[in-house]
C-alpha cells in the first residue's frame, strides 16, 4: 500500500519542513510578490486578481511538481522497475500516486485563499464557502490528474521535472493567474483552455464572487471534464509509455 501511495516521495509530505514550506511559505511569498507587482501596475482590483490567481496557481507545486518528482525519484532510486514488474493493479498503482498530492493540493489552495482573505483583504462571504470548497476540491483533483498525465510522459522521459517546470511557467501565463486571459492573443487563449488550472481558477474566482449556481455548475463541469479527461489520458499514457519504456530501457536511466 505504501508503494502505491508513495507518500514519502510525494513531496516528502511526511516531513514537517516540507509541509511548512510547500503549504505555508511558497504560496505566501509568491502572492506577496505578485501583489506588489499588481499594486504598482494596476491598483487594488489588480491586487485582488493576482492574489487569488497565485493562491490557486501554487497548487502546481503540490500537484504537477510532486507527481513528476515522484516519478523521477522512483527512476533514480531504481524502484520504478520493481513497481512495474509487480503484479499490483495498474489503476491503483498509477492513481494511488495522486492521493497524497490531492491532499497536499487541497491544503495548499486552502491556505493560499486564507492568506488572500486575511492578509490581502480579498472580499469573502462565508455563505459562499461550500461553493468555494467544491471548486477547490475539483481543482485539486483535476490538477493532480494533469500531473499524473505528465507523470505518464515522465515515465518515458529522462527527467520529468522539466515538464513540471514548463507547466509551472505556462500556468502563470496562459491560465489567467495574473491577468485576464482575454488580454492574450486568441490562439493563446485557446491553448489556455486546455489546462485544468484555467478552469479551476475560473471556478474559484466565480465562487468567491458569489456567482449564481448555474454559472458555477458550468465551470465545475468543465473542471470535472478536465479531471476525468486527464485521468483517462493519464492511464492510457502510463500504459503506453510503460510498454515503450520497457522496450527502450529508459526506466533504468535517469
Burial of 89 (0-12, 13-18, 19+ CB in 10 A): exposed
Nearest to 100 by CA among 11, 224, 200, 17: 11
Name the residue nearer to another protein (CB basis): 133 or 166: 166
Q: Which residues of 117-133 are buried (b: 16+ CB within 10 A; e: fewer)?
A: eeebebebeeebeebbe
Name the residue nearer to another protein (CB basis): 25 or 217: 25
Of the candidates 4, 37, 99, 103, which one interacts with another protein according to CB under 8 A? 37
Decide if 161 contacts 72 (C-beta within 8 A): yes
* Interacting positions 74-133 with another protein (CB under 8 A): 76
Is residue 155 a contact point for another protein (CB under 8 A)?
no
Angle (deg, nearest 10), helices 26-41 and 44-57? 150
Stretch that binds another protein, among 93-101, 126-134, 151-159, 234-242 (CB under 8 A): 151-159
Of the candidates 99, 122, 179, 210, which one interacts with another protein according to CB under 8 A? 179
Of the candidates 44, 92, 166, 228, which one interacts with another protein according to CB under 8 A? 166
Measured CA to CA in angstroms, residue 53 lies from 15, 56, 154, 228 at distances of: 27, 5, 27, 23
Grid cell at residue 211: 456567482
Quote the CA–CA distance of 91 and 74 in Å, as a whole number.
18
Is residue 61 a contact point for another protein (CB under 8 A)?
yes
Binding mask 16-35 for another protein (x = CB under 8 A): xxx--xx--xx--xx-xx--
# binding residues, another protein (CB under 8 A): 40
Grid cell at residue 69: 518528482
CA angle 103, 106, 108 (to 5 degrees): 110
Nearest to 245 by CA among 84, 72, 89: 84
Q: How far is the CB of 150 from another protein (least distance, A)?
A: 13
Stretch that binds another protein, among 36-44, 91-99, 108-116, 192-200 (CB under 8 A): 36-44
Nearest to 84 by CA among 242, 254, 191: 242
Quote the CA–CA distance of 34 and 46 in Å, as a whole number.
10
Of the candidates 117, 122, 134, 173, which one interacts with another protein according to CB under 8 A? 173
Is residue 189 a contact point for another protein (CB under 8 A)?
no
Name the residue nearer to another protein (CB basis): 65 or 220: 65
Of the candidates 88, 99, 103, 170, which one interacts with another protein according to CB under 8 A? 170
Name the residue nearer to another protein (CB basis): 5 or 124: 5
**Which residues are near another protein by CB under 8 A?**
12, 14-18, 21-22, 25-26, 29-30, 32-33, 36-42, 46, 61, 76, 157-159, 162, 165-166, 169-170, 172-173, 178-179, 183-184, 253-254
Amino acid at each position: 500500500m505504501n508503494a502505491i501511495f508513495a507518500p514519502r516521495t510525494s513531496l516528502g509530505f511526511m516531513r514537517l519542513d516540507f509541509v511548512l514550506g510547500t503549504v505555508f511559505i511558497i504560496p505566501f511569498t509568491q502572492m506577496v510578490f505578485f501583489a506588489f507587482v499588481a499594486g504598482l501596475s494596476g491598483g487594488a482590483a489588480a491586487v485582488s486578481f493576482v492574489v487569488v490567481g497565485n493562491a490557486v496557481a501554487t497548487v502546481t507545486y503540490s500537484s504537477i511538481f510532486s507527481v513528476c518528482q515522484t516519478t523521477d525519484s522512483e527512476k533514480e532510486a531504481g524502484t520504478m522497475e520493481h513497481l512495474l514488474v509487480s503484479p499490483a493493479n495498474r489503476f491503483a498503482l498509477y492513481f494511488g500516486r495522486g492521493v497524497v498530492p490531492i491532499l497536499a493540493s487541497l491544503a495548499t489552495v486552502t491556505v493560499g485563499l486564507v492568506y488572500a482573505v486575511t492578509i490581502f483583504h480579498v472580499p469573502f462571504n462565508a455563505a459562499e464557502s461550500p461553493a468555494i470548497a467544491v471548486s477547490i476540491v475539483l481543482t485539486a483533483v483535476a490538477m493532480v490528474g494533469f500531473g499524473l498525465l505528465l507523470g505518464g510522459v515522465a515515465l518515458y522521459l529522462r527527467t520529468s521535472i522539466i515538464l513540471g517546470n514548463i507547466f509551472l511557467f505556462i500556468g502563470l501565463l496562459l491560465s489567467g493567474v495574473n491577468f485576464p486571459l482575454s488580454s492574450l492573443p486568441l490562439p493563446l487563449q485557446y491553448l489556455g483552455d486546455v489546462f485544468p488550472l484555467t478552469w479551476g481558477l475560473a471556478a474559484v474566482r466565480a465562487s468567491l464572487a458569489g456567482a449564481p449556481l448555474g454559472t458555477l455548475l458550468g465551470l465545475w463541469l468543465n473542471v470535472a471534464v478536465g479531471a476525468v479527461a486527464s485521468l483517462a489520458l493519464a492511464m492510457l499514457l502510463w500504459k503506453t509509455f510503460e510498454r515503450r519504456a520497457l522496450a527502450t530501457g529508459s526506466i533504468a536511466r535517469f
